[in-house]
Amino acid sequence: MIRSVSILQVWPSAWPAFGAGRATDAVRPRGAGLRRGVELAIAALILIQLVRLVLLFMAPNTGARAAEGVTAPDTGVLSRFDAFFHTGERSSLAELTNAGSEQLRLFGVRAGAGGGGSAILGLPDGTQLSVGVGEEVLPGLVLRAVAQDHVTVARGSSVSRIDFGEVPVGAASVPPPPTTPQVVTPPRPAPAAAASEAAVVDPARLMAEAGLRPRMQGLSVNGFTVTARGQSAQLQAAGLRAGDVILSVNGIALDGPSAINRLRTDLAEAPEAVIRFERDGAPQTTTVRTRP
């Protein structure tokens, strides 16, 4: 009887150890499986990155090929024509028309592949029309092809070419610049303007004090504006003032960026210069001497 009680007293103390052993045996397989899963996931990620790296080196360089296939635009066409022309020769359309009834001028083109595209043509009534290849410009007259610097039109089997800078058939030609100095007397001539005809100016100082700035009309230069500040003895001697627009010197129009150098050269070399300018919208002329 005493032994039985001892066994019952000792036996419960062994229960926690027995239960802990069974719990440890159950946790170990689950921990090993989780570790194995993490290892497989890491290995899969590394494999994916290696595959992407290999594909990156093996892929063709499409960017370089695309850059090689791009052709630079032909900017030389800008120097081959003037879209804002005012003079020219007899139009090649003269052979196509009767009594100059179809007076056309070419103002702009948008060339496409194979002669396609569109063009802006000036009609006899002064209006402008944008037409595409194959469309009718005038009754019976069709735009046949568009190039970078010209277009061709056709009436039946007759084909003609229109270039930039051509004057339409029957248009009056622009008179050449005057060969002799043209003096325009203002309605109320100021004493300084009258005295400036005999005044002697220093070309270098006159150019420095004038502060010339190009006057733009559309995309072309039409004279240079005097932007001098304060009183300028050289400008007063030349009969000029701030706000005047110098149009030409000795009959040569100032219509481009290089005109400043030409003006400086003319004033330095010529003993006398006839300056045509615009003041308050009215053209005037003054004559200056560069030598005593």
Pair of tokens at residue 28? 């170990």
181 against 153, higher pLDDT: 153
d(CA 129, CA 139): 14
Whether 72 maps to a domain, the answer reads no
Query: What is the signed CA dihedral for 131, 136, 142, 146, rounded to 10 degrees?
Result: 10
Kind and range of the H or E element at 274? Answer: strand 272-279
Out of 67, 85, 110, pick the residue that ends a domain. 67
Domain that holds residue 204: 191-289
Q: Mutual orientation of helices 203-210 and 259-269 as an angle, nearest 10°?
A: 150
Out of 39, 67, 95, pick the residue that ends a domain. 67
Pair of tokens at residue 158? 């007759």
CB atoms within 10 A of CB 169: 21
Which residues, 6 or more positions from 285, have their beta carbon under 8 angstroms from its beta carbon?
181, 182, 183, 184, 274, 275, 276, 277
Phi, psi of 98 (to 5 degrees): -120, 125
Q: Is the pLDDT of residue 169 over 50?
A: no
Q: What does the DSSP 8-state code read for residue 245? A: E
CATH number of the domain where residue 103 is located: 2.30.30.830
Whether 268 maps to a domain, the answer reads yes
52 and 19 share a domain? yes
CATH number of the domain where residue 248 is located: 2.30.42.10
Pair of tokens at residue 110? 């948008």
What's the pLDDT band for 11 if we cut at 50, 70, 90? very low
Whether 177 maps to a domain, the answer reads no
d(CA 202, CA 236): 12
What's the pLDDT band for 269 if we cut at 50, 70, 90? confident
Q: How many domains does the chain have?
A: 3
d(CA 192, CA 276): 16
224 and 285 share a domain? yes
Beta strands in 74-140 (DSSP E): 105-111, 117-122, 128-132, 136-138
What's the pLDDT band for 165 if we cut at 50, 70, 90? low
46 and 106 share a domain? no
pLDDT tens digits, one per residue of 195-233: 344 478 777 788 777 778 888 887 788 888 888 766 678
Helices (H), 173-228: 191-195, 203-210
pLDDT tens digits, one per residue of 32-56: 778 888 899 999 999 999 998 888 8
Whether 14 maps to a domain, the answer reads yes
Measured between alpha carbons, how far is residue 115 from residues 83, 96, 166, 234, 249 in Å?
A: 20, 21, 21, 57, 44
| Cβ atoms 104, 137 nearer than 8 A | yes
Whether 181 maps to a domain, the answer reads no
195 and 146 share a domain? no
